[in-house]
A = this chain, B = another copy of it.
Amino acid sequence: MRYSREHKQETHARIVKKASVRLREKGAHGIGVADLMKDAGLTHGGFYAHFDSREALVIEAFAHAMDRSTDHWRKIAEQTPPEQRLATIVDSYLTRVHRDDPGHGCAVPALGAEIARENPRTRKAFAAKLEQMIDMLADQIPEVSRKAARQQAMAALATMMGALVLARVAGSGEFSDEILSAGRDAVLDRAASAKKATSGKAAKAIRH
């Protein structure tokens, strides 16, 4: 059954897309090649017509997830006034829905720690996507220098993904909700005070 020219690309994309969901749900080593192929409606034998190895799929699936997240938040930001963009992203990031559905959420809290232990090539591929995500976040922070915006974006992502990891460890009760809420407040308060600090002297005094 030979297929048309686009067919292989479509199948390849479908495997990557489905895998990116399942890997975020189950972890980078939490699901096997056979199950990933089954998710895409195929049998495991055909896997190596599309990827050199399981690891190659993992890299593609991560990149896909990161790109989708970065695009998603950029689009959300574009529909929001500049001074509210970061707040809107944080509010949509630290939600119960995101906490309870890692498969369709940010790959950083789901897979960051595992990727950091992966071989250098895989880790670097992920690091490049992480940098793009941070740049996108920095773009949403107006009224400060580029350097300050990047620094704030790094801290904001650390707090957001960290709070999501902690909230997932905590389960889905009150304790978990409190973590989400504490993370939101931390990012938003700091954004507010950092902005004031660059435009007023009184606020600057507070930072030191």
Contact = CB atoms under 8 A, between A and B. Distances in A.
Interface string A153-181: 01111111111011011110001001101
A6 B186 CA distance: 48
Given A154-B163, A161-B162, A183-B155, A169 B112 contact: yes
Interface string A87-111: 0000000000000000000001111
A142 interface: no
A26 interface: yes
A26 to B, nearest CB: 7
A157 B168 contact: no
A56 interface: no
Given A27-B117, A159-B186, A193-B189, A108 B203 contact: no
Please classify how large the interface on chain A is, using the bins under 10, 10 to 19, 20 to 34, 35 or more. 35 or more
Interface in A117-164: 117, 123-124, 126-127, 130-131, 150-152, 154-163
A14 B39 CA distance: 43
A182 B165 contact: no
B169 A192 contact: no
Nearest to A175: B131
Nearest to A156: B186
Interface string A12-37: 00000000000001110110000000
Interface of A: 25-27, 29-30, 108-117, 123-124, 126-127, 130-131, 150-152, 154-163, 165-166, 168-171, 175, 178-179, 181-183, 185-186, 189-190, 192-194, 196, 202-203, 206-208
